[in-house]
Copies of this chain bind each other. A is one copy, B any other.
């Protein structure tokens, strides 16, 4: 049956020094090999696009090995098992995992992170609010941020897929939430869709003052996705015992030369505060705990999300750079075979 199928794959053509652009990728078409015993074939319905992909293709030391030149772009994807010689997977199973930017994935099962059992909810959510974004928000906030009722929680990239979830989870934890986002539309989303108590535009010339006014008792938890001037501003307002969650470095366009900034040590010392890196992989063994809670809040309406669904694999190569340009509102996914 596989002979009719062509597998389009987005492969890494050259290694970027910074944010990957469309020109760093090629789209190739390859035949799908016959399944060996113990393998299965997944048809990808949704491909994920996320900021961390920059790290996956850069040569600089990172938390995972870099994608090789000519290899299929590493990516989360969600789809359906369409052929199986694997005892653990049956035709029709919905799965998500590191299936790559491609139409089909032949696999022994290792890259599959989970079977998607939330049949009442859209499959694409397993790449967003019920996937790595939601799980990141859940563990980053609860395990590193450790919010207490009454805390002031500040979130950067607050209208983004992770930030918007962090803000809502912090509200569920009884905190006061202040979102930082770029531009009037994202500020509006923070307030009207994601329920932040306050939202501030970091492009506003009065940003520093507005931040101080919004956090009269200081910042107890700061969830950061930027690693730049926004963080520097927030650090000046941390409260005693503050927890700063380093979840991403979206504001850093290149690591060569290494970016510099005001030293944070004195702020941390004066406030007995903590700055801690968060990698969602550290919580892989607790993934289902997070998904089951997140799914319940999605069903009850307590946890809102936005998706930006783009049809067609041809939009994948340029999509990482667009994320860094801040063009998206909502979790960006590439939909394949939109007629399914």
Contact = CB atoms under 8 A, between A and B. Distances in A.
Interface in A20-44: none
Q: How many copies does the complex hold?
A: 2
Nearest to A268: B277
A217 interface: no
Interface string A45-62: 000000000000000011
Contact of A262 (B247, B260, B266, B275): B260
Interface in A98-122: none
A274 B272 contact: no
Interface in A226-265: 227-228, 231, 246-249, 252, 255, 258-265
A275 B276 contact: yes
Contacts of A265: 224, 227, 231, 246, 249, 252, 275, 277
A264 B275 contact: yes
A278 interface: yes
B269 A249 contact: yes
Contacts of A269: 63, 227, 246-249, 277-279
Contacts of A3: none
A209 interface: no
A303 interface: no
A62 B270 contact: yes
Given A249-B266, A263-B227, A263-B259, A275 B274 contact: yes
A277 B282 CA distance: 24
Contacts of A272: 276-279, 282
Contacts of A261: 260-261, 263
A62 B240 CA distance: 11
A315 interface: no
A273 interface: yes
Contacts of A227: 263, 265-266, 269
A271 interface: yes
A259 B262 CA distance: 6
Contacts of A278: 269, 272
A266 B256 CA distance: 13
A163 B96 CA distance: 49
A258 B267 CA distance: 11
A260 to B, nearest CB: 5
28 contacts: A62-B270, A63-B270, A63-B271, A227-B266, A228-B263, A252-B265, A258-B262, A259-B263, A260-B260, A260-B261, A260-B262, A261-B263, A264-B264, A264-B275, A265-B277, A268-B275, A268-B276, A269-B277, A269-B278, A270-B277, A271-B277, A272-B276, A272-B278, A273-B276, A273-B277, A274-B276, A274-B277, A275-B275
